[in-house]
Amino acid sequence: MPQSIKSNAEERMDKAIQSLKRDLATLRAGRAAPSLLDRIQVDYYGTPTPINQLANINTPDSRTLMIQPWDKSSLAEIERAIQKSDLGLTPANDGSIIRLSIPPLTEERRVDLVKMTKKYGEEAKVAIRNIRRDANDDIKKLEKTEISEDESRRHQDDIQKTTDKFIAEVDKVLASKEKEIMEV
C-alpha cells in the first residue's frame, strides 16, 4: 500500500512538471512558435474555444505567426481574442489570414518574462509540495493500522527524496527557460 502511495505521488509530481513546461512554452522568447497561442481562448458562438481548434497556425519565418481560420466568420473573434491577451502582440488581418509579427524583445520585457517564469516555477513547486503533504498524510493514516512508526518514517523520507528530485527538476527547467529568454 505505501508503495502505491509513493508511485501515485511521483506520477502527480511528474504531471506538475509537464504542466510547468506547457506554461513556459506559452511565454514568448523572441521567436515565433505556435505554442505562444495555446492559452488564448476565442469566444466561438458563445463557447470559449482554444485558437488551435479554430485555425491552422504556421510559422513562415522565425518572427511571424500566420493564423488561417477554417471558418472565415471566426476571423474577427480570433483577432479580438489575441488583442485581449497578455501577449502584447497586434494582429494584422488581411481578410482571410491573421499575421502576428513577433518583435525582438527589449531588456525590460525580458526581465518581465523572467519574473513570469519564476512565478510559474513557484506555482509548480507549491503543487509538488502539496502532493508531498497529501502522500505523507496517507502514510500517517496507514501508520495507525497497517505499518509501524519506523516504516512510516522511512516512507516519508522516500517521499521527501522524490520531492527534492522534482524540485530540482523545476529549477533546471526554469534555468533553461531563463537562459533562452535572456539570450540576445
Q: Examine the domain organization and report whether 143 and 114 are in the same domain.
A: yes
pTM: 0.71
| Domains: count for the chain | 2
- The residue with greater pLDDT, 36 or 78, is 78
Question: Each residue of 100-157: pLDDT tens digit?
Answer: 888 777 788 788 888 889 999 999 999 999 999 999 999 888 888 888 888 889 989 9
Here the cell at position 120 is 510559474
Q: pLDDT-based confidence at 4, cuts 50/70/90?
A: confident
- pLDDT of 108: 82
Question: Each residue of 39-90: pLDDT tens digit?
Answer: 888 888 888 888 888 888 888 887 888 888 888 888 888 888 888 887 777 8
Query: Closest by alpha carbon to 137, among 149, 150, 152?
Result: 152
Question: Each residue of 9-21: pLDDT tens digit?
Answer: 999 999 999 999 8
**Cα R_g (the chain), whole angstroms:** 22
| Residue 19 burial by Cβ neighbours in a 10 Å radius (0-12, 13-18, 19+) | middle
Q: Examine the domain organization and report whether 150 and 164 are in the same domain.
A: yes
- pLDDT of 149: 84
**Average pLDDT score over residue span 33-41:** 80
In this structure, what CATH number is given to the domain that contains residue 15? 1.10.132.20
- Domain end: 101, 126, 160, which one? 101
**Torsion-angle region of 45 (φ positive above 0: left; ψ -120 to 50: alpha; else: beta):** left
Domain hosting 48: range is 34-101
